Homo-oligomer: A and B are copies of this chain.
Amino acid sequence: MKLAVIEGDGVGREVIPAALQVLDCFDLPIEKIPLELGLGKWEKTGQAITDADIEILEDCDCILFGAVTTPADPNYKSVLLTIRRELDLYANIRPLKPIKGIKGATGNTDFDILVVRENTEGLYSSIEEVGENEAWSKRIITRRASERIAQVACEYAARRANHLTIVHKSNVIKADSLFLNTCRDVAHTHNVIHDAMLVDAMAYDMVRSPEKYDVVVAPNLYGDILSDLGGALVGSLGLLPSANIGEKQAFFEPVHGSAPDIAGRGVANPIAAVLSVAMLLDWLNRPEQARIVREAVETSVNENIKTADLGGNSTTAEVTEFLVYYVQSN
């Protein structure tokens, strides 16, 4: 099993080593392939990611990714989007689940949402033209992409509360009716109970009543917005892991960015990266080990071994040390 390891920029260089320490507790047959991508590489070489990098990644089974800093330069090619597209990692899975002991912005800790975000099209098509006075982008919805993301969403739903919510805006954007109807058909075939929500109403209702939702499937940008919103409900973006899953490969990353403001000070919260390792373990079909990692995270919070963003005063190293200790003794 080959795991590409991309720390990236900023806090990526702190949280990925932390997450690897946790992963290493299990002594799995994993060959790690370190890869430098992102702003650091761009500043040195003028490229943030090359074709050769993609080839290396194509040869790996999975990827653990920290975060990259995106400069304002229009020539900069987004590392994240390049990898998602080139490896056709079409399902972006983002669990929104409170961690015991941490209260989010609304105080509601009684929900467990899985955002299944379509990861290849919509407004992320990159088909666009930017002129001096006018710019347009082509937003694309296909039956094929809608079908396969709905399939993934339904498979998750079947293992959870069997309830799928389809997010759309077909009252304005007619293309969303293709997404909506395709998802409905797939849900019907899978015997998954389903309903639909307009994206604006969904933003409203997720804040008010997140407990009403189970699996939420959404076109690319809606999923992007709703999962960040979910970060506020869970308590911090520093807590959200994610997986980008394709036919054969998968890519795991914290939802948070490279946070240049706090990078290099040893205070970054490793939880999102560590929970991304838990998702990696699930993907490797090691649910028991994934469970222990999640339990370790919960216990660290309970024991008040927390970084500053959670109101604690532990360093990244201290939190990691505890997590490793917990995993090793369980």
Contacts and interface: CB of A to CB of B under 8 A. Distances in A.
A233 B207 contact: yes
Contact of A143 (B74, B134, B136, B175): B134
Interface string A99-126: 0000001110000000000000001100
Given A105-B106, A221-B169, A225-B203, A175 B136 contact: yes
A228 B208 contact: no
Interface residues of A, number: 52
Contacts of A134: 140-143, 178
Q: Which of A78, A132, A169 has the most CB of B within 10 A?
A: A169
Contacts of A132: 143
A137 B225 contact: no
Interface in A201-215: 201, 203-205, 207-208
Given A130-B177, A228-B200, A208 B135 contact: no
A139 B136 contact: yes
Contact of A142 (B133, B175, B208, B237): B133
A224 B200 CA distance: 6
A26 to B, nearest CB: 32
A211 to B, nearest CB: 12
A106 B206 CA distance: 12
